[in-house]
Each structure stands twice: as structure tokens, then as C-alpha cells.
């Protein structure tokens, strides 16, 4: 039996933000056995901390530009901010596109506690959406076996 490559899911976010990396870490944790999860965007230290608090390590993630993926087969593109939704190119092999925007916790002004609360809230919102998506993909993948 021929082994097929895992479908690549690309999560995009523009600007100096962190949502795509949080989503990548969560989706990889849920469905990394079935999906090749990638992201473009910046890595924020509070995003690393927020995911570490739920047992997911994204400290080795690096910032990447969405154009780095233009020559790769991308099955699904998921944008997590409006800027990425508007700037997103179509990728080779792309079959699906989703836009699930989340507020940018890196833009929150206030005390350290208020900023941290924003990161926790966005992490929890991303976790709900991407856990549901990952679980649905896992069920669909098991049904194909």
C-alpha cells in the first residue's frame, strides 16, 4: 500500500501577532498525526507562555512569511486575522479556505494582567475552534481507513 503524505494545513496571520502560531500548536496537538500543520506570522513570547500553560510547546516555532509556502501543495488555508484574509494568495493544490478571525492580543493596552488576560482569552477561543476542527478531521480520516 502506498503511503500518502499528510495534507498540509496553512494557518495565516499578518502583522506582529501570534494567533497563527497558537492555532498551529493547538491543531498540531489535536491532529498532528493526520495533518501537516504549518503557520505564517510572528511568534510572541506571551503566546509561547499561553500555550505552555496548557501543555503545548511552541517555543521552537519561527516567524515565516506566507510567500514561503507558494511552491508547496497546501490542502487547506485558514486565516485567523482580517489582514491575512484580504492578503492571502491562492496556493498550489488548495482545496479549502476558512476565515476564522480572532482579536489580536498583542495590540491590547493596559496592565500586565490585562494583557495576559487577553492572551488567555484568545488562546481559549482558538483552542475551542481548532480542537473542534482537528477532531472533525481526525474522525473523517479514520472513516477513510
- Asked if residue 119 is part of any domain, the answer here is yes
Q: Is 18 a catalytic residue?
A: no
Q: What CATH number does the domain containing 126 carry? A: 3.40.50.2300
Residue 51 lies in a domain: yes
Active site residue 81: yes
Which SS3 state, helix, strand or coil, does residue 99 take? Answer: strand
Does 145 have pLDDT greater than 60?
Answer: no
Q: What share of the chain is helix, strand, coil (3-state, %, to 5)?
A: 45, 15, 40
Q: Model confidence over 119-132: pLDDT tens digits?
A: 999 999 999 999 99
What is the pLDDT confidence band of residue 83, given thresholds at 50, 70 and 90? confident
**2, part of any domain:** no
108 in a structural domain: yes
Mean pLDDT, residues 22-44: 92
Q: Looking at residue 108, what is its pLDDT? A: 95
Strand partners, 96: 76
Q: What is the mean pLDDT of residues 33-53?
A: 92
Dist. CA 61–CA 65, nearest whole Å: 13
Is 143 contained in some domain? no
Q: Output the pTM of the full model.
A: 0.91
Domain holding 118, by residue range, is 8-135
In a domain? residue 1: no
13 is an active site residue: yes
Amino acid 85: pLDDT: 84
Looking up cell 509561547, which residue turns up?
Answer: 48
Among 13, 23, 48, 77, the active-site one is 13
Total tally of structural domains belonging to the chain = 1
Amino acid at each position: 500500500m502506498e503511503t500518502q503524505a499528510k495534507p498540509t494545513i496553512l494557518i495565516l496571520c499578518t502583522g506582529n501577532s501570534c494567533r497563527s502560531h497558537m492555532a498551529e500548536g493547538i491543531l498540531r496537538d489535536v491532529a498532528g498525526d493526520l495533518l501537516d500543520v504549518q503557520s505564517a506570522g510572528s511568534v510572541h513570547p506571551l503566546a509561547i507562555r499561553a500555550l505552555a500553560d496548557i501543555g503545548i510547546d511552541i517555543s521552537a516555532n519561527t516567524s515565516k512569511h506566507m510567500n514561503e509556502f507558494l511552491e508547496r501543495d497546501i490542502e487547506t488555508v485558514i486565516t485567523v486575522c482580517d489582514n491575512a484574509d484580504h492578503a492571502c494568495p491562492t496556493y498550489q493544490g488548495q482545496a479549502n479556505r476558512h476565515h476564522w478571525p480572532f482579536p489580536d492580543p498583542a495590540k491590547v493596552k493596559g496592565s500586565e494582567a490585562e494583557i495576559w488576560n487577553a492572551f488567555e482569552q484568545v488562546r481559549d477561543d482558538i483552542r475551542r475552534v481548532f480542537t473542534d476542527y482537528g477532531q472533525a478531521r481526525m474522525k473523517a480520516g479514520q472513516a477513510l481507513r
